[in-house]
Amino acid sequence: MPRRIVVMWALLALAAAPTSLSAQRLFSVALGGGASFPQGSLSEGANPGWNALASILLGTPMQPLGLQADVAYNQFGFEGADGHESVGSATLNASYRIPTPGTPLSPYLISGLGAYRTDCSIDCDAVTHFGWNVGLGTNLYFLGFRSFLEARYHRTSAGGSSVNYFPVTFGVRF
């Protein structure tokens, strides 16, 4: 019985270790989704919602810096009314990978600028403004899958007030 346990733990450790091939990709694509939490004045009339994210990443295995282009969609339901407010964005981000050799986690900092289009399903005009984001995430290498978990703060404006929200996203990298 003890030998089976040792073999099981050894196999699990091998599966969790990052492979050298997955860590050496120059370009990769990511898809993800999760929950979005309205902040500031947006939280006064909106409920937590959901988000979807598609990314193209450029990075080298020897440098901790990378570039990431994101297209995202966030939707928040209105409190006490049918309908929703949505924010679509296209951003260019810089990332800094925090060195953690030999672990299945690879944390990073990310920040960027882009265009944010805010719209709602009832009685408002769609507007596009520039905005920014900042966050923290980690790449996960486990059982042969490349995935990520990320939380970012986004800020833009619409109708003379700020639009702030905090999406938490889980996804896969290809």
Q: Cα(2)–Cα(103) distance, rounded to whole angstroms? A: 25
Q: How many separate helices (H) and strands (E) can be counted in the chain? A: 2, 8
pTM above the 0.85 mark? no
Which pLDDT score, from 0 to 100, does residue 66 have?
96
User: What string of DSSP letters covers 131-144?
Assistant: EEEEEEEEEEEETT
Q: What is the pLDDT of residue 22?
A: 43
121 phi-psi bin (left φ>0, alpha ψ -120 to 50, beta other): alpha
Strand, coil or helix: 23: helix
C-alpha 92: how far from chain center: 13
Determine the pLDDT at residue 21.
Answer: 41
- Residues 111, 107, 169, 28: what is their CA dihedral angle, to the nearest 10 degrees? 80
What's the confidence (pLDDT) of residue 10?
A: 57
pLDDT value at residue 18: 46
pLDDT value at residue 125? 85
Burial 111-125 (b: 16+ CB within 10 A, else e): ebebebbbbbeeeee
- The predicted structure's pLDDT at residue 13: 52
**How many structural domains is the chain composed of?**
1
Residue-level pLDDT at 11: 53
- Note the pLDDT of residue 145: 86
Q: 59 lies in which domain range? A: 2-173
Residue 145 belongs to a domain with what CATH number? 2.40.160.20
Q: In order along the chain (174 residues), what is the average pLDDT of each group of 10 residues?
A: 59 49 73 97 91 95 92 93 92 94 90 96 89 96 88 92 95 94
pLDDT of residue 71: 98
Do 167 and 154 form a contact (C-beta atoms < 8 A)? Answer: yes
